[in-house]
Structure 1
């Protein structure tokens, strides 16, 4: 327990310095940050709380791994093969157990574009069927976008989907760990999944949960569905520890405030605007000031408001 609280104190200290203006916090590696042990045997390389760019090589999500005693399970392949390789080097410095499985948290580039590195190592890659379909449809443009910002860090990356898929739940027993890979319901993007360690009370939430930054809202994001999935399926897990998709590890209360609190606030403001007969142009100016301190606010707030207006206009 003392070990856990020491780790938490370290993470809180790091979070205090979370700032999207910090371009790279681990200059010796293509990774944005060196992996930290969140609880015993569960590690995460925390990504930048900023959009993907050259300086962070696309490492703006969390790349996590579980050391089970009989192999390692990695959550997220990385945004390119170089990030995947860099993460693998960190894993090999921590344990001589082989990586036996990679889990893609969704069909986005930072979850899947590193798949070819792991597949070349003979590692199976697991994803939700909807995430696999999303990546298959959009992988070319996702890859093109990554090559533009990552430049030479894109070398060696070949878009590959997962080697196997699931629909609702997959339970993995490996070493001393029981790992439940869950599809809780529609949320941020197609095929979002969570990795739940019931014996440890820890959830690797993927893009269900954000911390230290506001989430992007896409054309295919259903914010009302996201809130419902959170309240009916995700929150009832009762996790003590949360590794979010983006931002520092924390607890459920914190990620709820930074994720669902933001969505509910934005929907309430847009709802008032609709009731008053406001337009899409008006939506860009709704009040989001309670979240202005969060990273990516300047990049995302205006666009998010427009997306939510378009969604709610037809509800």
Structure 2
């Protein structure tokens, strides 16, 4: 069983957090020799992540705007996220092969969004099992074609070879998996960012590959079906009690629990408080778009998301 030296990890964590200044939506591509936006880094021993752009998906970043992670064990590799295209998945596989000769044994989709599952077609062609939450699979089956067409519009020739493939393995609340002496708890802690949000917890290492339940460098997007109240409850009642020492969020640099709590729960609570006050004062939807979110304007994608988020929280809280 692999054990991790705490002083080595602490140094890696400090270096990673210090490097967070390089995470900017203004940087089009950090790794031009690859389809990947950035070269994978070893966050803690045996756990690697290719940190995606904090900008929306573009041709320049090849749709790599989320974190693509992998864990190397003595018997094989577990990958978290299929990637936004078959070519992007292949590029990640090339990086895995540069680290180890061991095969990829399992790919986990963190949700039903394109950058989590569109690369499944590549992994399926390699004969690799793919796991996703049942709600994420439903999202792929219902909307996968439209998500794929959207990717083709921005990715053009880089979409070559990509087709919609749903995971062949599913779970509802928890899926236990062991490989090379490393125990993985694949969890759906509850409703949060989107359908089928999935977290990958490695208790022995106090390591959480959190997916989109956790944000800190970019603004958390709220979709039409996102329940912001549920997200806060899931995070506070299920995620925080696990007390991970190390967190790889869905987007942005790996960090710790305190940082993602501020970037996720503190943001959602602040927005809900301001929208709630706006409603109490008789405010309407039009006015809700302009509640003060200036404390969060340092977050990437603020311009794209702040007003949309406010409108969606207003529509949710109107009926609470």
Structure 1 residue 3: Cα displacement: 2.9
1:56 aligned to which of 61, 81, 85: 61
SS at match of 1:254: helix
The alignment covers a number of residue pairs equal to 315
Name segments (4+ residues, structure 1) moved above 3 Å.
none
Q: Structure 1 residues 258, 75: CA separation in 2 closer, same or farther (over 3 Å shift)?
A: same
Segment of structure 1 superposing worse, 213-222 or 9-18: 9-18
2:246 corresponds to 1:241? yes
SS at match of 1:173: strand
CA distance in 2, matches of 1:203, 1:168: 16
Unmatched segments (≥5 aa) in structure 2: 1-5
When normalised by structure 1's length, the TM-score is 0.99
What corresponds to 1:98 in structure 2?
103
Structure 1 residue 6: Cα displacement: 3.4
SS at match of 1:181: strand
Structure 1 residue 68: Cα displacement: 1.2
Structure 1 residue 290: Cα displacement: 0.6
Structure 1 residue 173: Cα displacement: 0.9
CA distance in 1, matches of 2:173, 2:231: 17
Structure 1 residue 308: Cα displacement: 0.5
What corresponds to 2:223 in structure 1?
218
What corresponds to 2:305 in structure 1?
300
CA distance in 1, matches of 2:23, 2:195: 28
2:22 corresponds to 1:22? no
SS at match of 2:8: helix
1:260 aligned to which of 265, 270, 276: 265
When normalised by structure 2's length, the TM-score is 0.97
Aligned CA-pair RMSD: 0.8
What corresponds to 1:230 in structure 2?
235
CA distance in 2, matches of 1:282, 1:252: 34
What corresponds to 2:52 in structure 1?
47
Structure 1 residue 12: Cα displacement: 2.1
2:204 corresponds to 1:199? yes
SS at match of 2:213: strand
Structure 1 residue 176: Cα displacement: 2.3
Unmatched segments (≥5 aa) in structure 1: none
2:5 corresponds to 1:8? no
What corresponds to 1:277 in structure 2?
282
SS at match of 2:258: helix
Structure 1 residue 7: Cα displacement: 2.1
CA distance in 2, matches of 1:248, 1:260: 18
What corresponds to 2:168 in structure 1?
163
